[in-house]
Amino acid sequence: MTTLAANQELACDIFCAVVDNFGDIGVCWRLARQLHAEHGWRVRLFVDDLTVFHALCPDVDATLPRQEAMGIAIEHWREPAHAGDTLAIADVVIEAFACELPHAYIAAMARRDPKPVWINLEYLSGEDWVADFHMRPSPHPRYPLDKSFFFPGLGKGTGGVLKERDLDARRERFDANAWWREFVGIERPGGEHTVVSLFAYENPAVDALLAQWRDGDVPVVLLVPEGRISGAVARFFDVPNFIAGTTARAGALEAHALGFVEQTRFDELLWAADINFVRGEDSFVRAQWAMKPFVWHIYPQADDAHLPKLDAALAHYTRTLDPSAREAAARFWHAWNGVGVPDWADFWAHRREWERRAVKWAKELAGIGDLAGNLAAHVASRISR
């Protein structure tokens, strides 16, 4: 059997099924770009919903079955048979979030010599059990193939999370004044304001929070990218809609609607705010690298299965804080995720602690290594066997 050289250019196929949000394709698109740009891999991305993909990357044409964007080959994954019957099998195959590879492709993987490195990329979790299952192999029941489970995580012994090599340098070069003029059309608010970015799923708690900002003593400037929370913001301000360019004011609250922010510029929104409300997986990770306080709206699951994951993330993030700050964070994050009523004054009283912790946490998280680098190292170890 032939053996691949660890230093040769590797071909990688990533399969992504878009569920009902931008999280799956968001993570896969970021991973694909990083593996290509930083590790020299030739990446082909199979996606079943190009319309959602287009929102994240306007260069993607939702009508084309095959195209290239930012150096990545993109296949519209409509009919599974062609993936194995007419396309060559890559050196590395990444099955994102248990999306199930086409049977024809798996059969072709089994015929390939050498066998590809097969990885099931799992969802991010901060729970302790993740480290025990990270990189655990799983033999296929019919074919001579082994799949390994690769778990992103927030603690040692996991795959870490995605972070580009130049991200810190880009953040340090960021010109907030220029960003505000370009995206909001106004000068950057002064230090007497609290700037909040709000990216969330539909959330019953939003009315209470908006009212607290409206009635508060400190002026709040709210940035709202168009999305699933926009309707609630429009209803609060009693306006027909809250689309890009809309501005509304009530009491101490001033809100600005932004267009949907493409992925390559999403970090800038986080850098431009004092605190970021984020949702799902991709924006949750980016908020941690932004070194700003943040609040996570985790993807809700049946029977509140998401709450242990929320608590696990809180445990990592707040573990070095004093008990009063930890409890305030838990109360507010839980309320934002449907358990209780958010109390902004109680939470934001710890602002300086959140700001200090945000910087330290980003450095701690970086110590695990980034997901793309850890995955590339895992592949290299598999190939050299």
Q: Which residue among 48, 127, 274, 281 is the active-site one?
A: 281
Using CA atoms, how far apart are residues 164 and 35, in angstroms rounded to an integer? Answer: 10
Angle at 84 between CA 79 and CA 89, to 5 degrees: 135
Contact 320, 360 (CB under 8 A): yes
Q: What is the C-alpha to C-alpha distance for residues 359 and 364, in angstroms, rounded to an integer? A: 9
Structure tokens given for 242: 């809250």
Phi and psi dihedrals of 193, rounded to 5? -95, 155
Pull the structure tokens for residue 118: 């097969």
Q: Are 122 and 152 in contact (CB under 8 A)?
A: yes
Report which residue type is found at 44: R
Q: Which residue in 24, 267, 282, 353 is the catalytic one? A: 24
Helical packing angle, 371-383 and 23-39, nearest 10°: 60
Q: Judging by DSSP bridges, how do beta strands 117-121 and 146-150 pair with one another? A: parallel
The DSSP string of 358-378 is HHHHHHHHHTT-BHHHHHHHH
Please check whether residue 62 is in contact with residue 50, taking contact to mean a CB–CB distance below 8 angstroms: yes
Q: Amino acid letter at 220?
A: V
> What residue type is assigned to position 182 of the chain?
E
Phi, psi of 275 (to 5 degrees): -150, 145
Distance between CA 169 and CA 317 in Å, rounded?
A: 23
Query: Known catalytic residue: 61?
Result: no
Question: Coil, helix or strand for 213?
Answer: helix
Residue 24 bears catalytic tag: yes
Residue 158 makes CB contacts below 8 A (sequence gap 6+) with 130, 131, 134, 151, 152, 368
Active-site residue list: 24, 281
